[in-house]
Amino acid sequence: MPICPRCHDTYVDGVVACVDCGLPLLPDDAPLPARVDRLLGTFDPVVADRLGGLLVHRGIPHRLVDHEGRTEVIVDREWADELRAELATSWGEVLGGLSADERVDLPSTRLRGWYDAPEGAWIDRHGRIQVDPAEDADRAGEPVRLWGPALAMLGTVLALFGWYAGRSLGFAVLGIAALVVGLLLPR
């Protein structure tokens, strides 16, 4: 079964190009290129260059993207979590490779030079280190988490209004539907 080198979708024999990406498909026994699509972190450019060198040395596919004085390091999704945990636990060693002048110029963040550093880490039951997301990354999803409770509350009000009004079966059904959707949305 041929496979797309970018999105890794598989196709039946006879299809020659990916429908989504438009790229020619590879045979299923061909080695796939790495997916360099997971953000490792946002770093000071000096630190990002140092990390880029370390990643090249270890043979980990990555790319550096500059954004107004900050550099995003994007890696293969299979390496992202492990690298983030490793960096969080050995950040001093990464900075140790910088000169004294380079270290002085780093911005004062919780882990100097790492703008979206994780807040903490723990060992899971399988013995792997797990890293908490940065506080900003955690708050980015907060507005979405309010939709479920808001819909559940609105559904309850509409269902009760339809029930007590007696003649408004449409409000009751709409309320029950909103309540069910609100309860099923992730929080």
**Shortest CA distance to 75 belongs to which of 50, 56, 95?**
56
Confidence band of 184 (pLDDT split at 50, 70, 90): confident
Q: What is the CA radius of gyration of the chain?
A: 24
Residue 143 pLDDT? 65
Residue 4 pLDDT? 81
Q: Is the dihedral of CA 38, 40, 42, 48 positive or negative?
A: negative
Q: Which stretch of 12-16, 83-87, 95-99, 123-127 has the lowest confidence by average pLDDT?
A: 123-127
Residue 8 pLDDT? 73
The sheet with strand 70-76 has its strands ordered as 36-43, 70-76, 62-67
Q: Judge residue 40's burial from the number of C-beta atoms within 10 Å of its C-beta, 0-12 exposed, 13-18 middle, 19 or more buried.
A: buried
Most confident among 28-32, 75-79, 151-155 (mean pLDDT): 151-155
Within the chain, what is the greatest distance between any pair of CA atoms? Answer: 77
Q: Is the dihedral of CA 122, 123, 125, 128 positive or negative?
A: positive
Query: What mean pLDDT comes out for the span 129-138?
Result: 59
Residue 92 pLDDT? 78
Instruction: Please report the beta strands in the chain, taking only residues with DSSP state E, as ranges in sequence order.
Output: 36-43, 62-67, 70-76, 121-123, 129-131
Distance (Å, rounded) from C-alpha 134 to C-alpha 139? 9
Query: What mean pLDDT comes out for the span 100-109?
Result: 69
Residue 155 pLDDT? 87
Distance (Å, rounded) from C-alpha 39 to C-alpha 32? 20
Confidence band of 133 (pLDDT split at 50, 70, 90): low
Query: What mean pLDDT comes out for the span 33-57?
Result: 83
Structural tokens at position 78: 């299979």
- pTM exceeds 0.85, yes or no: no
Q: Which stretch of 15-19, 22-26, 43-47, 108-112 has the lowest confidence by average pLDDT?
A: 108-112
| Cβ contact 110:103 at 8 Å | no
141: pLDDT strictly greater than 80 = no
42: pLDDT strictly greater than 80 = yes
109: pLDDT strictly greater than 70 = no
Confidence band of 107 (pLDDT split at 50, 70, 90): low
Distance (Å, rounded) from C-alpha 168 to C-alpha 162? 5
Distance (Å, rounded) from C-alpha 14 to C-alpha 12? 6
Structural tokens at position 165: 């009004």
